[in-house]
Amino acid sequence: MLLEKAREFINTMYRELNYSQSAIDSRLDEIKNEIAETGTYRHTSEELTYGARMAWRNSNRCIGRLFWETLIVQDARDVETNEAFIEAINTHLKEATNGGKIKSYITIFSPDQPPTIYNNQLIRYAGYEDKGDPAEREITKLAQHLGWQGAGTDFDVLPLIYQLPHETQMRMYELPPELVLEVPIEHRNFPKLKELGIKWYAVPIISNMDLKIGGITYGTVPFNGWYMVNEIAVRNFTDSYRYNLIEKVAEAFEFDTLKNTSFNKDRIVVELNDAVYHSFKKHNVSIVDHLTAAKQFEHFERNEKQAERQVTGKWSWLVPSLSPTLVSNYHHGYSNEMKEPNFFYKKKAEKTGCPFH
């Protein structure tokens, strides 16, 4: 089974990279022996990098896949100590943020003995009973049980909660503020928006997925791209079960009604995208608008066709949450088959909820 998966991956990768059949055969021989001897095998750094890039290419929910070949890999497979772990996290934050010119980046820890990261993303705001991000209430409670106390604002950056292999206790780490870039949100034409004090962090670093390459599962692989504006402006800010900001923004915009037929809710959503986009740009932080992202995805589809690969996708995720019908992916379907290498949500059982609840 492992050998089968390894074979499939090595064949695909090495052929894409135009390796000779004899190179493929000798690498497969090596892997076969290694599996016979040790029960597993270790990817070369080229395999690790290319495998992670393929996983991005195969991510059905991602509209940003045009750039799959630019993914930078930090090989942290040999990280064991707390110092080395924190160093790898800090390096990721720094390199990926890159002063605002965000780089797509992934840190890959050991497949056999990975440290566990409990956070959904490396940077995320705490969620309290009636403040902050409701999506993060569970991890916030966990942090509080471990002795953390947030300032109690809507935007308290959560500490990193993790556990090292061979240790029985969770550890907690406050991210150095200078490594957490944030953007205050304002609107060019609605100066009062600024007074709401809303902001968002620059880099979305997913930390709750597995990466599978050639039969090997990497369980701790924080990875990031850059934001598409509507992820923040539509989903994070206006979903009723997230920051739910429509009414507050209506007041800041001095709209006198939110009646359905005034179309003011829709207007607010559009203007919030304008605000988030231009606030990021003003602070020189990478971000893409939904129309450009969709164009880039069309480009990706053409590239893949050229390479004679089928593009798989999850329609409900690929269609942007702002003006969906204005972009091409709304108007056709995708096969949602999951090719490997790929990123996978962790199974419920291993899902790292708060052990105290």
How far apart CA 11 and CA 19 sit, in angstroms, is: 9
Q: Is 228 in the site for ligand ARG (CB under 6 A)?
A: yes
Task: Give 223's contacts (C-beta < 8 A, 6+ positions apart).
Answer: 52, 56, 71, 104, 105, 106, 107, 205, 206, 209, 211, 343
> What 8-state DSSP symbol labels residue 329?
G
**Nearest approach, Cβ of residue 112 and ligand ARG (Å):** 27
Q: Is 205 in the site for ligand ARG (CB under 6 A)?
A: no
Residue in 231, 74, 93, 219 with CA at minimum distance from that of residue 160 = 93
- Give the footprint of ligand ARG on residues 4-63 (CB under 6 A): none
Do 340 and 58 contact (CB within 8 A), yes or no?
A: yes
Please list the active-site residues: 62, 65, 226, 231
Strand ordering across the sheet containing 160-163: 116-117, 160-163, 171-173
Q: Is 204 in the site for ligand ARG (CB under 6 A)?
A: yes
Q: Is 297 in the site for ligand ARG (CB under 6 A)?
A: no
Residue in 77, 309, 97, 349 with CA at minimum distance from that of residue 211 = 77
Size of the site for ligand ARG (CB under 6 A): 8
Q: Which residue number, 10 or 288, has a Cβ lying nearer to ligand ARG?
A: 288
Confirm whether residue 62 is marked as ligand binding. Answer: yes
DSSP H helices in 285-352: 290-306, 315-318
How far apart CA 90 and CA 214 sit, in angstroms, is: 28
The single residue among 51, 111, 225, 320 that binds ligand ARG, judged by CB under 6 A, is 225
Candidate ranges 183-191, 221-229, 264-272, 321-329; the one touching ligand ARG (CB under 6 A): 221-229
- Give the footprint of ligand ARG on residues 235-254 (CB under 6 A): 236
Q: Give me the amino acid identity at 121.
A: Q
**Nearest approach, Cβ of residue 120 and ligand ARG (Å):** 9
Do 288 and 228 contact (CB within 8 A), yes or no?
A: yes
Q: Is 119 in the site for ligand ARG (CB under 6 A)?
A: no
Q: Is 227 in the site for ligand ARG (CB under 6 A)?
A: yes
For 262-299, b/e burial (b = at least 16 CB within 10 A) is eebbeebbebbbbbbbbbbeeeebbbbbbeebbebbee
Q: Which residue number, 75 or 239, has a Cβ lying nearer to ligand ARG?
A: 239
Residue in 236, 253, 176, 215 with CA at minimum distance from that of residue 342 = 215
Q: Is 102 in the site for ligand ARG (CB under 6 A)?
A: no
Could you list the beta-strand ranges (E) of 46-142.
Answer: 72-76, 105-109, 116-117
Q: Is 123 in the site for ligand ARG (CB under 6 A)?
A: no
Q: Is 301 in the site for ligand ARG (CB under 6 A)?
A: no
Q: Which residue number, 132 or 215, has a Cβ lying nearer to ligand ARG?
A: 132
Candidate ranges 177-185, 224-232, 248-256, 307-315; the one touching ligand ARG (CB under 6 A): 224-232
**Nearest approach, Cβ of residue 333 and ligand ARG (Å):** 23
Task: Please report, in angstroms and rounded to a whole number, the separation of the first and last CA atoms in the chain.
Answer: 37
> Is the link from the previous residue into 159 a cis peptide, with omega within 30 of 0?
no
Q: Which residue number, 109 or 201, has a Cβ lying nearer to ligand ARG?
A: 201
**Nearest approach, Cβ of residue 225 and ligand ARG (Å):** 4
Q: Which residue number, 61 or 192, has a Cβ lying nearer to ligand ARG?
A: 61
In the complex, the residues that contact ligand ARG under the rule CB under 6 A are 204, 206, 225, 227-228, 231-232, 236
Q: Which residues are part of a known binding site?
A: 62
Q: Which residues are part of a known binding site for heme?
A: 62
